[in-house]
Amino acid sequence: MDDVTRRTLLTATAAGGFLAAANAGAQTNEPVPQRPGHGGTDPGPRNLARDRQNPDLLVPPSTDHGTLPNLRFSFSDAHMRLESGGWTRQVTVRELGVSKDIAGVNMRLNAGGVRELHWHKAAEWAYMLYGSARITAIDAQGHNFADDVGVGDLWYFASGVPHSIQGLGPDGCEFLLVFDDGDFDEDNTFLLSDWFKHTPNEVLAKNFGVAGSSFEHVPDPSELYIFAAAVPGPLDSDKIAGTIPVSPTLSHKMLAQQPIKTKSGTVRITDTSVFPASKTISAALVEVQPGGMRELHWHPNSNEWQYYIEGQARMGVFAASGQARTFDFQAGDVGFVPFAMGHYVENTGTTPLRFLEVFKSSYYADVSLNQWLALTPPELVRAHLKLDPQTLAALHKEKFPVVPA
């Protein structure tokens, strides 16, 4: 899609209609998969709402080429599991087949709602989206952890670490969970009640040194998982006296970090350099103002898994061998960029764009196209791209993650 066609399409969308690039600019209520000399009308059947949400799929930029896999999936298209204490939904390799090493879960806990005591094989990294929650855990050395987390806070539970999450007042919480295994399934975690119900009472009695009858009223696992409970008291009331706290801490305040700032946005990077407990997941929280763009770059150490928190975006991905594809995103969508592929993320809306870049890595790394060219001998760059002296002089030797800088 050329810039004029795209601007026309997006402007008309905001007004509740479309101006088709075809037919000499004639007005229509339907977006048309057509650019001058290419494409045609679409008499249907069709899903107009989807077409309006994905203008770069309907009319791809002329620079798109090849058959890259799908790199987008929306949590709105994921199955919702409803429980007495809240709800959960997930995007795994089943929903987004290209994401082999990261899966995501979006969960809501009502005030008092508890995600049952459990553990799993994958490590869990979380970003708080709404409200507040209490999290608890212990490590293999018997060290204790309990904390209250709010919007923008993170936590990290390594594989095998038992933990719980509970929504606090006044309205519970919503959060994003990221797991370092694309095959992760939220329905296949190790649940406390499930183990009790599948262990003979005489074994439980021997283990805990009490009568077997003590365990006759353990609820069925179907009654728990995410269940309603009373809102807990102050944090100090849930801390176990005489215990040694987990170190390093399993929570982190990402929004308290000093961001990298440019004229068009901010970036906060969290990896083991500032959150030592998070050994398998690193992340960046990116904010892009209207008209700004996460610069052309790539990541030399890992695939990128994205979660869009706010705003509208389009992402172009370059896969080498003449392959490139463009996708559109809005709040609640998941994006993916395969290892080392060049890409950009542009704010296409009228409000700030905020999204998470998440990596299965202990450290964050990216390579800026602009910086690479600026730090390469100018004559060598000129020989490749035929750039004039003014363009060469405009290249940035410092990295500006959000442009215009």
Is residue 83 annotated as part of the catalytic site, yes or no?
no
Please answer whether residues 144 and 240 qualify as being in contact, where contact means their C-beta atoms are separated by less than 8 angstroms.
Answer: yes
Q: What is the DSSP letter of 19?
A: E
Q: Consult the annotation and say whether 295 binds a ligand.
A: no
Query: Considering only CA atoms, which of 127, 152, 163 is closest in space to residue 257?
Result: 152
Q: Consult the annotation and say whether 186 binds a ligand.
A: no
- On the CB side of 247, CA atoms within 13 Å amount to 3
Please give the C-alpha separations between residue 246 and each of 123, 138, 146, 161, 205, in angstroms, as whole numbers. 16, 7, 9, 11, 30
Cα 103 versus chain centre, distance: 9
Distance (Å, whole) CA 269 – CA 258: 9
Query: Choosing from 116, 357, 379, 398, which is the catalytic residue?
Result: 357
Q: Consult the annotation and say whether 299 binds a ligand.
A: yes
The secondary element (H helix, E strand) that includes residue 367 is strand 367-368
Q: Consult the annotation and say whether 124 binds a ligand.
A: yes
Please give the C-alpha separations between residue 321 and each of 7, 251, 262, 305, in angstroms, as whole numbers. 29, 42, 33, 23
Distance (Å, whole) CA 63 – CA 1: 8
Distance (Å, whole) CA 253 – CA 34: 47
Q: Consult the annotation and say whether 143 binds a ligand.
A: no
Q: Consult the annotation and say whether 384 binds a ligand.
A: no
Q: What is the DSSP letter of 394?
A: T
Q: Consult the annotation and say whether 398 binds a ligand.
A: no
The residues that bridge with 307 in the sheet, in sequence order, are: 334, 356
Please answer whether residues 176 and 305 qualify as being in contact, where contact means their C-beta atoms are separated by less than 8 angstroms.
Answer: no
Q: Consult the annotation and say whether 343 binds a ligand.
A: yes
Please answer whether residues 58 and 6 qualify as being in contact, where contact means their C-beta atoms are separated by less than 8 angstroms.
Answer: no
Indicate the length of the chain as a whole number.
Answer: 405
Which residues are known binding-site members for Mn(2+)?
Answer: 118, 120, 124, 163, 297, 299, 304, 343
Which residues are known binding-site members?
Answer: 118, 120, 124, 163, 297, 299, 304, 343
Q: Which residues are catalytic?
A: 357
